[in-house]
Amino acid sequence: MSKKFDMVVKSGEYVSGGQTKTRWKTIGAVMDDGKGGMYAFLDASFNPAGITRKDGSESIMVSFFEPKTKSQDSQDATPKQQEPSEEIPF
């Protein structure tokens, strides 16, 4: 049993540094059952009615992205602050 995809929806937009960026929400995962099949876990608190749709559409789009590895997560993360020194500053 391994994770194949993250299930993600566009939950809005925001402006950062003068650029419009997309806000994404991970709503679940697609798993491999090890026997040739797949199944999905869906976040029980996710409400698809809250996702913006095109005018006249009754559907939302769910994207499937390959999950990031831990090394990709650490590369994408903002740099951590330095650990405080154990020296007393006086």
How is residue 76 written in tokens?
A: 């994408």
Residue at 25 is within a domain: yes
pLDDT given for residue 52 in this prediction? 85
Residue 37 lies inside a defined structural domain of this protein: yes
Compute the distance between CA of residue 2 and CA of residue 33 in angstroms, rounded to an integer.
Answer: 7
Query: What sign does the CA torsion over 46, 47, 52, 53 have?
Result: positive
Tell me, yes or no, whether 60 lies in a domain.
yes
Domain that includes residue 8, residue range: 2-66
The verdict on residue 62 lying in a domain is yes
| Structural domain count of the chain | 1
Q: What is the average pLDDT across 38-44?
A: 95
Residue 75, token pair as written in the block: 């590369």
Grouping H, G, I as helix, E, B as strand and the rest as coil, residue 72 is helix
Residue 83, domain member (yes or no): no
The answer, yes or no, to whether residue 59 has pLDDT greater than 70, is yes
Are 62 and 5 in contact, with CB atoms under 8 Å apart? no
* 79 or 17: which leads in pLDDT: 17
Neighbours of 51 (CB within 10 A): 17
